Amino acid sequence: MADGAATGKTAQPVFGFDNSYARDLPGFSVPWTAAQVPAPRLVRLNRALAEELRLDPDALSGPDGAAWFSGNAAPPGATPIAQAYAGHQFGGFSPQLGDGRALLLGEVIDRNGQRRDIALKGSGPTPFSRRGDGKAALGPVLREYLMGEAMHALGIPTTRALAAVATGEEVFREAPLPGAVLTRVAASHIRVGTFQFFSARGEADKLRQLTAYTVARHYPELEPGDAAGLLAAVAGRQARLIAQWMLAGFIHGVMNTDNMALSGETIDYGPCAFMGAYDPATVFSSIDQTGRYAWGNQPVIGQWNVARLAETLLPQIDADNDRAVQRATDVLRGYMTEYEAAWLAGLRARLGLGATDAGDRAMADALLTQMQAQGADWTLSFRHLGLAARGEATAFLAQFSEAAGARDWLARWQARLAFEARDPEEAARGIEAASPAIIPRNHLVEHALSAAVESGDMAPFDALLAAVTDPFADPQGREGYALPPPQGFDEVYRTFCGT
Ligand code: AMP
Ligand code: MG
């Protein structure tokens, strides 16, 4: 056996694909080939992620990488497929969505033994494209790259970008834009909408297969056919995920059921954005006219989406429909309990509270009331509590347009810390470990993307990427990334789906 180690040559394939979705779930996807693009150019490669996936970054950074990550060539061992799924979009059900501009190349096992999907987004039309062109533009591709890395650095489960490739062709939206393809890495691309697709078609056998596959892949601690266990486990992960979004001030923007992953990862960065001044009604997405997916609605929308998953699982939960509904209802109630617990735990960490007290929630709520009334910045209010714990309250108080209420709250909080007899430095460190100084501010994201798209200047993107992937460190020397938006910017800021 002349393997690589014996011969000194690299016989090891670059991708050790093992494509279980294509192999084990026939009828769940369509084999497909990406469109050819004229001039693929690797714009960014995520070398750290490549290494995590046991891929050789050097082997990916040459012409092979540009060809593979544009879709011009399928990497050895790939079995490109377009996955079928359905979904509720803004509350209305579409029985067939599916990968209209994406292809799953295959799966690899990462350094931690985890199975990860490698997929292209923007790789051309598929049988699921409906009226779309199957393409993506460079701006939204870089946006997804940046946001995913920022979320990962914040400790929030997320899909991530492995590569961004410019295609050398124009895509037409309101105006011609440079085209691009994103390579997305995900724990899987199984969505609530995947279950809905087969449920809507009455395909009970396929639903059972999908349950068994999802349990084995994401919840191996459960029995293969345990649909009730799967529902509860998904509900728990979503509750905790959305609590993390809320704490980060993250607004997903398009929480349709096709954009909720069973793995519990954040998926599909389209019109997402981070909140500046605290207002639960904050919405940036231009298509979210009613504010369905506003920051403050996300927990209950998450529950609504889990309820849609529950509907598809009822026949597997119990042959008796009433009993099945009862169990699902209990799970949905449990979702809210789990959410509330995760949210409160996160707030307590941000307030530097060591011990638990029955008044913690009321104290946190009192701060939120002040923040909302006085237009305080979500991120900086918490971050500057670290300084306040050290006896430097000026930066915290400066967040509030009228500081009297905040000063009263601060006295109450300080009394609580004193009562706990918590070492102030320890409290401050705890606060700063839980409260980022740097988030992807909307004005900085737009600046970075327009420089990249309009003048091919990647320097602002790279600098912003470096800043948002080190969010908790002292921002000294990079203060500009920690500043709130310029006056009035967020108020008129609008984001788009990037389709
Ligand atoms: P999204 O809003 O990105 O979650 O996408 C919703 C649905 O629209 C999915 O089925 C996508 O595959 C499809 N879609 C989005 N953009 C395009 C496009 N440019 N071409 C074809 N299908 C698309
Ligand atoms: Mg989507």
Model confidence pLDDT, tens digit, residues 262-315: 999 999 999 999 999 999 999 999 999 999 999 999 999 999 999 999 999 999
In the predicted structure, residue 431 carries a pLDDT above the cut 50: yes
Q: Which of the 8 DSSP states describes residue 392?
A: -
How far apart CA 61 and CA 58 sit, in angstroms, is 5
In the predicted structure, residue 8 carries a pLDDT above the cut 60: no
CB-ligand 1 contact for 254 (6 Å cutoff):
yes
* Residue found under tokens 């990862």: 265
In the chain, what is the greatest distance between 2 CA atoms, to the nearest angstrom? 77
How do residues 375-389 score in pLDDT, each as one tens digit? 999 999 999 999 999
Q: Whose CA is nearest to atom 15 of ligand 1?
A: 499
Mean pLDDT (whole number) for 326-353: 98
Confidence of residue 469 (pLDDT cuts 50, 70, 90): very high
Contact 34, 120 (CB under 8 A): yes
What was the pLDDT predicted at 499?
Answer: 54
Give kind and range of the element (H or E) at residue 461: helix 459-468
Residue 249, C-beta contacts closer than 8 angstroms, at least 6 positions apart = 274, 275, 276, 278, 295, 378, 379, 439
| DSSP characters over 212-261 | HHHHHHH-TTS-TT-HHHHHHHHHHHHHHHHHHHHHHTEE-S---GGG-B
In the predicted structure, residue 111 carries a pLDDT above the cut 80: yes
> Domain segments of the chain: what residues?
3-189, 193-349
| Nearest-10 Cα torsion for 73, 78, 80, 85 | -150
CA 411–ligand 2 middle distance (angstroms): 46
Q: Whose CA is nearest to atom 12 of ligand 1?
A: 100
258 labelled catalytic:
yes
Task: Among 97, 141, 174, 254, name the best residue to mutate to test ligand 1's pocket (greatest count of ligand atoms within 8 A of Cβ).
Answer: 97
CB-ligand 1 contact for 100 (6 Å cutoff):
yes
CA 136–ligand 2 middle distance (angstroms): 13
CB-ligand 1 contact for 133 (6 Å cutoff):
yes
Query: Phi/psi class of residue 113: alpha, beta or left (left: φ > 0; alpha: ψ in -120 to 50)?
Result: left
What values do phi and psi take at 45, rounded to 5?
Answer: -120, 135
Mean pLDDT (whole number) for 369-374: 98
Query: Which ligand 1 atom sits nearest the alpha carbon of residue 171?
Result: 19
Listed residue (95, 97, 184) closest to 136, CA to CA = 184
In the predicted structure, residue 9 carries a pLDDT above the cut 50: no
**HEC secondary structure over 98-163:** CCCCEEEEEEEECCCCCEEEEEEECECCCCCCCCCCCEEEHHHHHHHHHHHHHHHHCCCCECEEEE
Q: Whose CA is nearest to atom 14 of ligand 1?
A: 100
Question: What's the chain's average pLDDT?
Answer: 96
Of the listed ligands, the closest to the CA of 144 is 1
In the predicted structure, residue 2 carries a pLDDT above the cut 60: no
How do residues 19-49 score in pLDDT, each as one tens digit? 999 999 999 999 999 999 999 999 999 999 9
In the predicted structure, residue 209 carries a pLDDT above the cut 80: yes
- Is the entire prediction scored with pTM above 0.95? yes
CA 449–ligand 1 middle distance (angstroms): 21
In the predicted structure, residue 6 carries a pLDDT above the cut 50: no
Confidence of residue 1 (pLDDT cuts 50, 70, 90): very low
Total residue count of the chain as it appears in this document:
499
Report helix, strand or coil for 45: strand
Q: How far is CA 214 from the centre of its chain?
A: 19
What was the pLDDT predicted at 12?
Answer: 47
Mean pLDDT (whole number) for 460-474: 98
Contact 331, 306 (CB under 8 A): yes
CA 295–ligand 1 middle distance (angstroms): 23
Contact 259, 158 (CB under 8 A): no
CA 499–ligand 1 middle distance (angstroms): 6
Mean pLDDT (whole number) for 55-69: 96
In the predicted structure, residue 4 carries a pLDDT above the cut 70: no
Which member of 99, 117, 226, 258 is catalytic? 258
Listed residue (467, 487, 491) closest to 477, CA to CA = 467
| DSSP characters over 334-372 | HHHHHHHHHHHHHHHHHTT--S--TTHHHHHHHHHHHHH
What was the pLDDT predicted at 470?
Answer: 98
Of the listed ligands, the closest to the CA of 191 is 2
What values do phi and psi take at 43, rounded to 5?
Answer: -85, -45
Confidence of residue 497 (pLDDT cuts 50, 70, 90): confident
